[in-house]
């Protein structure tokens, strides 16, 4: 069925409400898992021509759609492969003043009782409300293809992980607090198509109408972080608030109808991030909307929610709806180039996460609970946003502080990943100080969710952070040894001079036992912080950067999460004695054997270096590195430094 004029539209509302009451579940109880709209109820784009007039529906306040008029200006063929666009001039609903509004994406347009399509594209700073309309016939076509893919995947192996390979993700960018990935997670724009990137059509300046993001409970800093990450995808995050209990009670269970708000959640709970658009069509339990992709995810699993529009905020560029999500009523399972689509009834599979925050000795701890979508390309960004926002709820952090961080990432059928660390120093202060505190957590989630070795299900993430005033970081200022000439089997003894922040220097003794069979020669002894220690380990064992199994991915994660920034690492580099073949280390090979492998034409062999390592715990967050040379000799007098 299709409702193209006001009387038919009101009949749709009344019948829908009556059926909802009769079923007792608040929604139309029609099993239409594979049903599609009747082709006679919508236009074939080839039959559309300039001068045709119709009407559209969208919500400007509340949940009740209002009517505006539309006149076809022309049809643009093949604006993208397999996609056409209808240009329409809109009037009414104060669109002459506000222009095309963010949040209108999906607003249906009918001509002679048949559905033409969804308002989806516009120009910024346009003088007239001219919109690009996605033909509904192509929305149905692309959703049909997605449904076939979903059915095929359901019959195959579940949980296949997407995204980049572990190596490409690991080599993305070296950070101070995590060495093998971007500490804030990948930028979604590198992997997602997004509404803006999807192509707005064949006319310069026209682009997909941005999706306003309601960020309830988020600080300005956390909102700016979201905009930095999601802005390139055509999403505009802004401060948002939840609807009142009365509105949720009165409006939350109203059935979806064409023109009603369509809200897609990405974070729910004590904090909320939701994208706002408009319903284009409802067929049984199937809901179509937007007329363009939200993030270009293809197959997805996002909460489908009812919504409430508070007002339209007029702007010179593109005005936007200010709205709030109401209730989760189903799952958005399709995000393709012509639209989004979901089903009423199913429950979304979300990741539970908690964050406990305590700032100052005398403050009461606060715990926040959220649920986050499991989309691999978005999850690290949302984890970082939630954690950074949690500490922002306490206001500005002290200029000088120390953070005690604990986190548990619980995995299905795998040992949990535990992080316990102490963080302090200049890189944790300033505008990006808060996100830097949680870089290890976000990057760990990134590696887990984007690895392509085997499916990994994160069951939950629990984090706690306690902030105390004062910095406890210290720089390695000097390193000296009692003797720089030793025999095999002796103990290398030394002293590390630390310079704590705004405090007197501290001497820390360190020792390292030399093997009895250590060959004679000159060696380099190094003391360093945990960041440099991990770098050296990755250099010594390059196989870690090219894991060939899930165990290899977990190994490199635990290499970084099971150490602490308060550890002082003392290391003695040994001579090269092994190689790795296809990731499998062969240590202590004779030099002649190593030469044969390394001089071969095969490229899978890499040298393996090794070091003697000992770690010493300190009360300080260590930064820096110092090295010196020692000599190992047999049966010779040992000299002692002054």
Q: Report pLDDT digits (tens) over 244-289.
A: 889 999 898 899 999 999 999 999 999 999 999 999 999 999 999 9
Least confident piece of the model among 3-12, 43-52, 496-505, 535-544: 3-12
What is each CA distance from 105 to 158, 291, 449, in whole angstroms? 32, 6, 30
- CB neighbours of residue 246 within 10 Å: 8
Residue 27: closest CA among 300, 286, 249, 264: 286
Fold of 351-469: Ubiquitin-like (UB roll) (3.10.20)
> Mean pLDDT over residues 432-443, rounded?
81
Residue 35: closest CA among 302, 295, 341: 341
Exposure string (b/e) for 300-314, b if CB count within 10 Å is 16 or more? bbbbbbbbbbbebee
Distance between the two ends of the chain, CA-based, in angstroms? 94
Inter-residue contact 387 to 408 (CB < 8 Å): no
Q: What is the pLDDT of residue 228?
A: 84
DSSP letter for 382, please: H
Q: Report pLDDT digits (tens) over 575-585.
A: 765 555 555 55
CA distance 551 to 446: 16
Please state whether beta strands 211-216 and 235-240 pair in parallel, antiparallel, or not at all (unpaired): parallel
Checking if the pLDDT of 434 tops 80, the result is no
Q: What percent of the chain has pLDDT over 90?
A: 52
The average confidence (pLDDT) of the chain is 81
Please state the φ and ψ torsions of residue 468, each to the nearest 5 degrees.
Answer: -125, 150
- Residues facing residue 123 across a β-bridge: 206
Least confident piece of the model among 235-249, 393-407, 518-532, 578-592: 578-592
Checking if the pLDDT of 93 tops 60, the result is yes
CA distance 137 to 392: 46
Q: Report pLDDT digits (tens) over 296-319.
A: 888 999 999 999 999 888 777 778
Q: What is the pLDDT of residue 577?
A: 59
Q: What is the pLDDT of residue 171?
A: 31
CA distance 606 to 604: 7
User: Looking up tokens 């992980």, which residue turns up?
Assistant: 161
**How would you classify residue 217: left for phi > 0, otherwise alpha for psi between -120 and 50, otherwise beta?**
left
Percent of residues in the chain assigned helix, strand, coil, to nearest 5 = 25, 40, 40
Q: Measure the CA angle with vertex 397, ends 393 and 400; round to 5°.
A: 165
> Per-residue DSSP letters for 555-616?
HHHHHHHSS-TTEEEEEEEPPP-EEEETTEEE-S--HHHHHHHHTSS-S-EEEE--EEEEEE
Question: Which residue spans of the chain are classified as CATH 3.10.20?
Answer: 351-469
Inter-residue contact 354 to 386 (CB < 8 Å): no
Checking if the pLDDT of 169 tops 50, the result is no
Higher pLDDT, 52 or 609: 52
Q: Report pLDDT digits (tens) over 487-517.
A: 999 999 999 999 999 999 999 999 999 999 8
Higher pLDDT, 199 or 406: 406
Element (H, E) at 262: strand 261-269
Inter-residue contact 440 to 474 (CB < 8 Å): no
Q: What is the pLDDT of residue 81?
A: 81
pTM to 2 decimal places: 0.81
Q: What stretches of 155-201 show up as alpha helix (H) in DSSP? A: 166-170
Inter-residue contact 243 to 326 (CB < 8 Å): yes
pLDDT band at residue 8 using 50, 70 and 90 as cut-offs: very low
pLDDT band at residue 94 using 50, 70 and 90 as cut-offs: confident
CA distance 572 to 611: 5
Higher pLDDT, 188 or 543: 543
CA distance 323 to 338: 23
> Per-residue DSSP letters for 209-230?
PPEEEEEET--HHHHHHHHHHH
Q: What is the pLDDT of residue 599?
A: 58
What is each CA distance from 284 to 27, 36, 329, 340, 586, in whole angstroms? 9, 9, 14, 16, 62
> Mean pLDDT over residues 530-546, rounded?
85
- Residues facing residue 508 across a β-bridge: 496
């Amino acid at each position: 069925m299709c409702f193209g004029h006001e009387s038919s539209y009101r009949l749709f509302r009344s019948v829908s409400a009556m059926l909802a009451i009769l079923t007792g579940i608040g929604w139309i109880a029609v099993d239409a898992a594979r049903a599609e709209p009747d082709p006679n109820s919508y236009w074939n784009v080839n039959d559309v021509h300039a001068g045709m007039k119709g009407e559209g529906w969208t919500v400007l306040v509340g949940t009740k759609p209002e009517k505006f008029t539309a006149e076809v200006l022309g049809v643009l063929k093949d604006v993208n492969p397999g996609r056409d666009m209808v240009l329409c001039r809109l009037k009414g609903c104060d669109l002459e003043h506000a222009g095309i509004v963010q949040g209108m994406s999906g607003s249906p347009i009918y001509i002679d009782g048949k559905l033409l399509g969804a308002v989806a594209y516009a120009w910024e700073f346009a003088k007239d409300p001219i919109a690009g309309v996605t033909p509904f016939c192509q929305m149905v076509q692309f959703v049909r293809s997605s449904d076939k893919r979903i059915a095929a995947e359901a019959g195959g192996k579940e949980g296949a992980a997407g995204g980049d390979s572990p190596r490409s993700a690991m080599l993305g960018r070296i950070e101070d607090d995590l060495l093998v990935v971007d500490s804030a997670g990948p930028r979604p724009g590198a992997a997602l198509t997004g509404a803006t990137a999807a192509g707005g059509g064949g006319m310069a300046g026209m682009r997909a109408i941005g999706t306003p993001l309601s960020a309830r409970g988020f600080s300005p800093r956390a909102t700016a972080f979201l905009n930095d990450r999601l802005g390139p995808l055509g999403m505009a995050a802004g401060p948002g608030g939840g609807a009142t209990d009365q509105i949720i009670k009165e409006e939350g269970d109203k059935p979806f109808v064409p023109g009603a708000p369509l809200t897609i959640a990405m974070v729910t709970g004590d904090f909320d991030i939701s994208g706002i658009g408009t319903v284009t069509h409802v067929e049984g339990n199937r809901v179509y909307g937007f007329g363009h992709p939200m993030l270009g995810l293809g197959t997805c699993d996002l909460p489908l929610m009812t919504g409430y529009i508070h007002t339209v905020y007029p702007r010179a560029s593109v005005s936007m709806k200010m709205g709030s999500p109401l209730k989760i009523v189903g799952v958005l399972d399709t995000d393709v180039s012509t639209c989004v689509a979901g089903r009423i009834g199913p429950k979304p599979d979300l990741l539970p996460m908690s964050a406990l925050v305590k700032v100052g000795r005398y403050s009461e701890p606060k715990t926040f609970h959220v649920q986050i979508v499991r989309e691999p390309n978005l999850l690290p960004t949302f984890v970082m946003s939630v954690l950074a926002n949690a500490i922002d709820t306490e206001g500005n952090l002290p200029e000088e502080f120390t953070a005690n961080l604990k986190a548990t990432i619980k995995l299905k059928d795998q040992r949990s990943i535990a992080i316990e660390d102490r963080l302090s120093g200049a890189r944790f202060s300033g505008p990006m100080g808060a996100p830097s505190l949680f870089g290890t957590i976000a990057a760990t989630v990134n590696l887990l969710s984007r690895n392509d070795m085997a499916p990994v299900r994160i069951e939950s993430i629990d984090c706690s952070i306690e902030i105390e005033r004062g910095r406890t970081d210290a720089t390695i200022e000097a390193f000296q040894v009692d003797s720089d000439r030793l025999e095999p089997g002796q103990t290398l003894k030394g002293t590390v001079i630390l310079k704590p922040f705004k405090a007197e220097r501290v001497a820390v003794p360190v020792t390292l036992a030399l093997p009895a069979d250590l060959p004679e020669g000159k060696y380099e002894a190094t003391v360093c912080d945990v960041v440099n220690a991990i770098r050296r380990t990755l250099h010594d064992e390059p196989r870690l950067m090219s894991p060939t199994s899930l165990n290899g991915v977990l190994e490199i994660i635990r290499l970084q999460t099971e150490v602490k920034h308060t550890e002082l690492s003392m290391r003695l580099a040994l001579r090269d004695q092994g190689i790795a073949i296809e990731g499998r280390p062969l240590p202590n090979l004779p030099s002649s054997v190593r030469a044969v492998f390394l001089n071969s034409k095969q490229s899978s062999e890499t040298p393996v270096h090794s070091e003697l390592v000992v770690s010493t715990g300190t009360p300080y967050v260590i930064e820096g590195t110092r090295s010196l040379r020692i000599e190992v000799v047999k049966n010779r007098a040992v000299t002692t430094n002054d």
